């Protein structure tokens, strides 16, 4: 039977795992473009980011989720609610596991134990881990959870991804695509703009600053030759505003340059970006602020 004789299949696949396991890197590699922001710092992903993979006879809607943690404040509680929604929506769960991680995965295992859906164990970062060490870790996980399949991959280098996609396809039921085939995501451009600015905050600032900030796109005017964007960076405390602006405005200027370059690269045209820093005292702890910020 050739591929064209196969029924079209579609379905939802949730990527679940600890912070920094490589969920976003994996989804970006599958889609061939950067949909989820990625940094070396944990908890970079805060929203459920939807990525749409389509070929002639398949459409897979990937749900990239925040890393599973025990929440300490309202923003983190909202992030974990996102994980709950993804597991409810998904037809297949990918448990993304980092075999080089020295810390236990209790929270993820407890969550996955409550899911009655096919779970694929995706052992990532095999470009960094030895096979024997990874298999030893997998044997420990197999004592705690039942997996439909186990895949060893490198999201960074793309190893094992094609086989993973083929296996996902076997779990999906026949059905039409949910989205137009050319779509890569359901999020508006404004969402990606705010995420790309937030990514630069993660890359440029240390300690608690990235975890205390969010980005609010105030206005977006698209013209033929240039898009004009105004955005506020919201901080949790007054002292953080000075750090973000920097001496004589040097830090916010650098942040603006790098963010503008990332946005131009993403949308493929010139951008004028106007950034401001606003203080919303303890916004992360307050449910109404967290909700207002789109979490």
**Residue 183 annotated as lining a ligand binding site:** no
What domains are there in the chain, each with its CATH number?
Answer: 3-174 (3.40.50.300), 189-292 (3.30.300.20)
Per residue in 47-105, pLDDT (tens digit) is 889 999 999 999 999 999 999 988 899 999 998 999 998 988 999 999 999 999 988 78
Judge whether 251 is annotated as a binding position.
no
2 is in an annotated binding site: no
Neighbours of 118 (CB within 10 A): 19
Largest interatomic CA distance in the chain = 67
Residue 235 labeled ligand binder: no
Residue 18 in marked binding region: yes
Residue 21 annotated in ligand binding: yes
Check whether 175 is labelled as a binding-site residue.
Answer: no
Q: Is 64 annotated as a binding residue?
A: yes
Q: Is 277 annotated as a binding residue?
A: no
Give mean pLDDT, residues 164-188: 95
CA distance 155 to 138: 18
Reference 51, options 25, 77, 22, 17; nearest CA is 25
Judge whether 102 is annotated as a binding position.
no
What does the alpha-carbon distance between residue 219 and residue 227 come to, in Å, rounded to a whole number? 10
Per-residue pLDDT tens over the stretch 193-235:
999 999 999 999 988 899 999 999 999 999 999 999 999 999 9
Question: Taking a C-beta distance cutoff of 8 angstroms, is the pair 153, 123 a contact?
Answer: yes
Q: Please report where in the chains the tokens 């440029």 appear, as a residue.
A: 204
Does 80 show up as a binding residue in the annotation?
no
Query: Binding residue per annotation — 20?
Result: yes
> Do the annotations mark residue 22 as ligand-binding?
yes
Buried b (16+ CB within 10 A) or exposed e, 126-163: beebeeeebeebbeebeeeeebebbbbbbbbeeebbee
Q: Is 67 labelled as part of a ligand binding site?
A: yes
Q: Quick one: pLDDT at residue 4?
A: 56
β-bridge partners, 275: 231
Q: Is 127 annotated as a binding residue?
A: yes
Residue 91 assigned ligand-binding role: no
Rounded percentage of the chain residues whose pLDDT exceeds 90? 81
Structure confidence by residue, pLDDT tens digits, 243-272? 999 999 999 999 999 999 999 999 999 999
Digit-coded pLDDT (tens) for 8-49: 999 999 999 999 999 999 999 999 988 898 888 888 888 889
Residue 155, annotated as binding a ligand? no
């Amino acid at each position: 039977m050739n591929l064209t004789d196969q029924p079209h299949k579609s379905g939802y696949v949730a990527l679940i795992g600890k912070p920094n396991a490589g969920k976003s890197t994996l989804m970006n590699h599958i889609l061939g473009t950067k949909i989820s922001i990625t940094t070396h710092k944990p908890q970079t992903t805060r929203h459920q980011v939807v990525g749409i993979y389509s070929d002639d006879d398949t459409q897979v809607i990937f749900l990239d989720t925040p890393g599973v943690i025990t929440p300490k404040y309202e923003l983190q509680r909202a992030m974990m609610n996102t994980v709950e929604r993804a597991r409810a929506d998904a037809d297949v769960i990918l448990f993304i596991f980092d075999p080089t991680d020295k810390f236990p995965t209790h929270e993820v295992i407890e969550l996955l134990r409550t899911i009655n859906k096919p779970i694929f164990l995706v052992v990532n970062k095999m470009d960094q881990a030895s096979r024997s060490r990874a298999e030893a870790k997998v044997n420990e996980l197999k004592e705690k959870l039942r997996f439909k399949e186990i895949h060893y991959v490198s999201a960074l280098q793309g190893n094992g991804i094609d086989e993973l996609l083929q296996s996902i396809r076997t779990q999906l039921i026949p059905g039409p695509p949910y989205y137009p085939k050319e779509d890569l995501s359901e999020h508006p451009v404004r969402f990606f703009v705010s995420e790309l600015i937030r990514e630069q905050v993660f890359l440029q600032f240390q300690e608690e600053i990235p975890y205390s900030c969010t980005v609010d796109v105030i206005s977006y005017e698209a013209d033929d030759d240039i898009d004009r964007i105004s955005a506020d960076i919201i901080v949790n405390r007054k002292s953080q505003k000075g750090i973000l602006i920097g001496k004589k405005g040097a830090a916010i200027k650098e942040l603006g340059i790098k963010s503008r370059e990332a946005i131009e690269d993403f949308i493929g045209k010139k951008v004028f970006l106007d950034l401001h820093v606003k203080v919303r005292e303890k916004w992360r702890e307050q449910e109404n602020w967290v909700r207002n910020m789109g979490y």
